[in-house]
Amino acid sequence: MKLHPILPAMVFLGAATFLGCKKVPLTPSHPVLAGEAVFRFTSAVRGPVELTLDGTRIPVQQLPKGAFSLLVKGLTPGKHRFFLTSQRETFSPDMGELDMATDKGIYQVTLTQRLDAVLYGKPDPLPTAEGLPGVTAVLVK
C-alpha cells in the first residue's frame, strides 16, 4: 500500500493546530452580576484600552502587565452601544450592542490580536475620558 504524500502533511498540520490553540472559557467561571459586563479577551491585553458606551468615553483602569478581561460595572438595564479600541490591540467584535437584563450580567468573548498602531516614537497621550455617572471599567487578570 502506497501512502499519499499529502497525508503526513495533514497529520502534521492538525497536530500543530491542536497543540498551538489556547482554550478560552466560553462561559464565566463565576456568575456575572446584574449591571455588569465582562469582555473576556482571547490573549493578554497590554492596553491602554479605550471604551465608549452610548457615545461617552469611559475611563478604564489599566494594569501594567496586561489583563485577560475588561469588567464594566454600573450599567442600567436596557440596550447600550459599545466601542472598544486600543493603540496596541485590535478587537473582534470591537463594537456592538449590549442588551442588559435586570437579573443577570453579560459575558462576551472578544477575539484579540496584537497590533502596534504607532510605527515610530511614542503614541500621543490620550485625552481624559468623561465617563458616565456610576459606571466603572477596569482591566482584570
Grid cell 443577570 in the structure block, residue: 104
With 80 as the cut, is the pLDDT of residue 20 above it? no
- Greater confidence, 31 or 128? 31
Give residue 125's pLDDT band: very low, low, confident or very high (50, 70, 90): confident
Other C-beta atoms within 10 Å of 47: how many? 20
44-59 per-position pLDDT tens digit:
998 788 999 999 999 9
Mean pLDDT of the chain: 83
Here the cell at position 88 is: 496596541
Tens-digit pLDDT profile for residues 44-102: 998 788 999 999 999 999 888 889 999 999 999 999 999 999 888 899 989 999 999 99
